[in-house]
């Protein structure tokens, strides 16, 4: 029999979780403090933008309801996921203020419930937060004992915005940090029904799971930075091509191809802050976290490198179009968006900047109100642009033709940060195509690298005289 579950927090991850769970036959009760989010869910609408979310909420509406009332949700479910925000605080740690509020409400509801209930913290928290930050509040508010009257787990999800529902239903593995076996068994039983494949479930202490979650994200950021170092290097080597190098590197099973692309730095609401937070907890406890600090500093410097490069290629031009204002394609989120940062910096440098994004135009209009004009269509954005920056791999950008870029102009410069445009563009008269991560001036690069070797090579000896060793005496 499928359980009734509840999800506290109907944001980007929580609403997708509701839809994913309902699609697997669970009856799901969503809880939020925002009436709009609750009303949206009750009418089959998506409270946030996410690929396929509204379609799924509509399709499984008969198994979904939402409420502002925590007690209703706890009484009518046997397990609750907490997926509320954990924003970064001034130290770089994750604040528990929303989670504390949610867990207090859950505790009060548990005080009036006789049956065993499992509470699962899914929000990203730092090591120790579940046991030492949230559990005491839960026990105090409920007047009950963990392990006896209720269970507790820390179990994060590993999703990417834009593919959240697909990722929730097809994870690489499940991670369960459990207070005790009973809590972990209850959650594993649910996960086994969510995923159709027989996936690995890694069960461990809550602290190890808290470390694993944030370490995974931070490790991915190291990989991104490494591939950006390679992209930078490839641009300086005659014929250098980061895609060719990465394909070879990624074929090694120790490395793998994912996130080894070379392009923009890591961005969005999770990666930058997770790296900072891992550094915070490690440094606070005395671990040497120089590697994480360097990664963060390097990532911030990537943008500076691009700004200098764009200023060089845009010298003599006035108008710049930025295609891609979300931090990545398929998302409306602009947190740490490289497109937004570039638009600001270039406007401040005196360029006339126009931006466009299929999903993030509304958010960008507010963020860039003093810096850039936001175009209502791609066509409008490209109309006057002399220099065009393609900052995300959006399908709408990948399909652009030479005629779309040129319109009535004789000449345009295109900087393709992900090398995602059609390769034929590089040969079209009037288009100067600059792919990031590939050498685009072999001649200058050859001069520099030749100089490096010529300066340091010693004169070639005409013949090499080997020291003669005496012949062994004849026996």
Ligand X SMILES: NC(=O)c1ccc[n+]([C@@H]2O[C@H](COP(=O)([O-])OP(=O)(O)OC[C@H]3O[C@@H](n4cnc5c(N)ncnc54)[C@H](O)[C@@H]3O)[C@@H](O)[C@H]2O)c1
- Taking the CB of residue 465, how many other CB atoms lie within 10 A of it? 6
Q: By the 8 A CB rule, do 68 and 40 touch?
A: no
* Catalytic annotation, pick one of 146, 270, 289, 344: 270
The yes or no reply on residue 152 touching ligand X (CB under 6 A) is no
Which contiguous run of DSSP H or E holds residue 36? helix 35-42
Interface with ligand X includes 330 (CB under 6 A)?
Answer: no
Q: Is 182 helix (H, G, I), strand (E, B) or coil?
A: helix
Of residues 100-119, those binding ligand X (CB under 6 A): 101-102
Q: Which is nearer to ligand X, 74 or 302 (CB)?
A: 74
Q: Is 92 in the site for ligand X (CB under 6 A)?
A: no
Tokens describing residue 277: 């937070």
**174-178 and 201-205 strand pairing:** parallel
Nearer Cβ to ligand X (99/381): 99
* Window of 143-151, 157-165, 227-235, 425-433 that interacts with ligand X by CB under 6 A: 157-165
Q: Which of 98, 219, 259, 298 is in the footprint of ligand X by CB under 6 A? A: 98
Strand, coil or helix: what is 432?
A: strand
Q: Does 83 bind ligand X (CB under 6 A)?
A: yes
Two structure tokens written together for 149: 């009257």
Question: Which C-beta is closer to ligand X: that of 362 or that of 451?
Answer: 362
| Cβ closest to ligand X, residue 210 vs residue 416 | 210
Residue in the shown chain whose Cβ atom is closest to ligand X: 11
Catalytic residue list contains 270: yes
Candidates 12, 117, 328, 332; binder of ligand X (CB under 6 A) is 12
**Residue (210 or 235) nearer to ligand X, CB:** 210
How far is it, in rounded angstroms, from Cα 201 to Cα 192?
Answer: 9
- Which stretch, 78-86, 249-257, 258-266, 313-321, contacts ligand X (CB under 6 A)? 78-86
Find the Cα–Cα–Cα–Cα dihedral 128, 130, 133, 139, rounded to 10°. -140
- C-alpha 450/C-alpha 444 separation (Å) is 10
Put residue 22 in one of left, alpha, beta given phi > 0 → left and psi -120 to 50 → alpha: alpha
Q: Spell out, one character per residue from 253 to 292, where the chain touches ligand X: x when CB under 6 A holds, - when not.
A: ----------------xx----------------------
Residue 335 and residue 272: Cα distance in Å, rounded?
10
In this structure, what DSSP letter does residue 28 have?
E
Among 57, 84, 146, 342, binds ligand X (CB under 6 A): 84
**What's the order of all strands across the beta sheet hosting 201-205?**
64-67, 27-31, 4-8, 79-82, 117-121, 150-154, 174-178, 201-205
DSSP secondary structure letter of residue 316:
T
Shortest CB 71 distance to ligand X, Å = 13
Nearest to 2 by CA among 79, 91, 101: 79
Cα-Cα-Cα-Cα torsion 212, 213, 219, 225, nearest 10 degrees, comes to -170
DSSP-derived secondary structure for 126-165: -TTIIIIIIHHHHHHHHT--BTTTEEEEE------TTSHH
Nearer to ligand X, 83 or 152 (CB): 83
Closest approach of Cβ 209 to ligand X, in Å? Answer: 13
Q: Is 9 in the site for ligand X (CB under 6 A)?
A: yes
84-92, 133-141, 259-267, 383-391 -> range binding ligand X (CB under 6 A): 84-92
Q: Which of 6, 49, 80, 86 binds ligand X (CB under 6 A)?
A: 86
Which CB sits closer to ligand X, 167 or 384? 167
Closest approach, Cβ 106 to ligand X, in A, equals 9
The residues annotated with a catalytic role in the active site are 270
Residues forming contacts to ligand X in the complex (CB under 6 A) are 8-14, 31-34, 37, 48, 83-86, 98, 101-102, 123-124, 157, 159, 161, 269-270
């Amino acid at each position: 029999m499928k359980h009734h579950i509840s999800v506290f927090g109907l944001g980007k991850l929580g609403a997708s979780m509701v839809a994913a769970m309902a699609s697997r036959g669970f009856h799901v009760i969503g809880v939020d403090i925002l009436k709009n989010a609750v009303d949206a869910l009750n009418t089959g609408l998506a409270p946030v933008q996410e690929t396929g979310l509204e379609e799924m909420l509509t399709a499984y509406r008969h198994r979904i309801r939402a409420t502002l009332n925590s007690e209703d949700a706890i009484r009518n479910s046997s397990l609750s996921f907490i997926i509320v925000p954990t924003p970064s605080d001034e130290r770089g740690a994750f604040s528990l203020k929303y989670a504390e509020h949610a867990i207090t409400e859950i505790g009060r509801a548990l005080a009036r419930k006789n049956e065993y209930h499992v509470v699962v913290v899914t929000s990203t928290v730092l090591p120790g937060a579940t046991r030492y930050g949230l559990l005491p509040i839960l026990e105090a508010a409920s007047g009950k004992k963990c392990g006896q009257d209720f269970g507790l787990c820390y179990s994060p999800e590993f999703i990417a915005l834009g593919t959240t529902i697909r990722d929730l239903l097809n994870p690489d593995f499940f991670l369960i940090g459990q207070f005790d076996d009973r809590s972990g068994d209850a959650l594993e039983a649910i996960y086994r029904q969510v995923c159709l494949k027989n996936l690995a479930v890694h069960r461990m202490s809550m602290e190890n799971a808290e470390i694993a979650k944030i370490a995974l994200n931070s490790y991915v950021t190291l990989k991104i930075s490494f591939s950006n170092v390679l992209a930078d290097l490839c641009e300086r080597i005659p014929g250098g091509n980061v895609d060719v190098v990465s394909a070879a590197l990624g074929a090694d099973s120790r490395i793998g191809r994912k996130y080894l692309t070379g392009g923009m730095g890591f961005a969005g609401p999770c990666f930058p802050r997770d790296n900072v937070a891992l550094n915070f907890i490690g440094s606070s406890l005395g671990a040497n976290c120089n590697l994480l600090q360097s990664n963060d500093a390097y990532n911030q410097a990537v943008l500076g490198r691009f700004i200098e490069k764009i200023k060089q290629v845009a010298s003599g031009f006035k108008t710049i179009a930025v295609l891609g204002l979300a931090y990545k394609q398929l998302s409306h989120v602009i947190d740490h968006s490289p497109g937004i940062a570039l638009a600001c910096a270039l406007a401040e440098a005196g360029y006339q900047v126009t931006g466009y994004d299929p999903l993030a135009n509304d958010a960008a209009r507010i963020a860039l109100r003093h810096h850039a004009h936001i175009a209502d269509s791609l066509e409008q954005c490209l109309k006057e642009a002399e220099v065009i920056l393609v900052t995300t791999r959006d399908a709408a950008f990948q399909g652009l033709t030479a005629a779309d870029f040129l319109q009535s102009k004789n000449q345009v410069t295109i900087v393709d940060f992900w090398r995602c445009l059609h390769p034929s563009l590089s040969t079209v008269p009037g288009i100067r195509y600059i792919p990031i991560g590939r050498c685009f001036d072999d001649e200058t690069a050859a001069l520099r690298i030749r100089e490096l070797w010529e300066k340091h090579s010693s004169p070639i000896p005409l013949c090499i005289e080997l020291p003669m060793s005496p012949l062994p005496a004849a026996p």
